[in-house]
A = this chain, B = another copy of it.
Amino acid sequence: MDATPPRHLSPRKSPRQQRALVTLDAIFESTIQVLLADGPHRLTTTRVAERAGVSVGSLYQYFPHKQALLYALNERYLDRLAERIETVCEEQQGAAAAEMIEALVSAYWRAKTERREVTRALYRSAVELDNEALLEAFARRVDAATAAMLASASDGGGSDLALVNTTLLSVIFGTVRNLFERNLPEAQEANIREQLVILCRAYLAARTSVPAN
C-alpha cells in the first residue's frame, strides 16, 4: 500500500538480499497456511516460523512483533488486489459503462474466489489488527482507478460521478463479502453475482438518464 504504515507496524528491515526475500515470502505463505489450518487464534509466531522453515528468532528479525507480520500480510494482499483492479480499469478505458461494470465485478470476484480459503483467512486475520488505515488507503487507490475508468466511459457518466463511483465500490465490495459470509450453494451464489452486475448497471443507467438526481 502507499499508505505509510504506522511507525510501530513497519517491518524491521527491508530485505536487500535475495535470500531474505525468499525467507520473507516463505513467512508470508506460512502465515496463510497456519491461518487456514489452525484458525486465527491458533496462529502463533512459533508455528509460523516452524512452517516457514526458519527459527522464531529469525522471524523476529523481519517483524518486530506479531501484529507487524499480520499488518504486512494484509498490506501485501491489498496491494496486489489493488494492482489487479487498476489493470482492469486501464484495460477498460473508453469502453461502455455496462462493460466496465461487468469487468470490474468479474475481476474482483475472481481475485476473491481464486483461493477462497485464503480470502476467508485474511478477512479473519484482519480482526486482530487495526487495519482501518490500510483499508482506507486501499479504498482510495481503487476509488481513483475506477473513477478514472468511469469518467472515460464511451456513453458518458452522468453527474456526480465521484459519489456514484464510491457507491458502486461499496456495493460491490460489500455484497461480495456478504456472499462470502453466507455459504450459499454455488449455483445461487453465481446467480446473485450475476444480479449484482444487473443491479449496478441499472443504477448507472438511472443516474445517467436523470442527471439531476
Contacts and interface: CB of A to CB of B under 8 A. Distances in A.
B181 A178 contact: no
Contact of A188 (B166, B181, B196): B166
Interface residues on A, range: 35 or more
The A contact surface, by secondary structure, is helix
* Count of this chain's copies in the oligomeric assembly: 4
Contact of A199 (B127, B128, B167): B167
B181 A163 contact: no
A198 B160 CA distance: 14
Nearest to A175: B174
Contacts of A166: 188, 192
Contact of A203 (B123, B173, B182, B203): B203
A198 B203 contact: yes
B195 A164 contact: yes
Given A127-B124, A202-B206, A203-B203, A196 B178 contact: no
Contacts of A1: none
A42 to B, nearest CB: 11
Interface in A194-213: 195-196, 198-203, 205-207, 213
A166 to B, nearest CB: 6
A40 interface: yes
Interface string A33-51: 0000000110000000000
A16 to B, nearest CB: 14
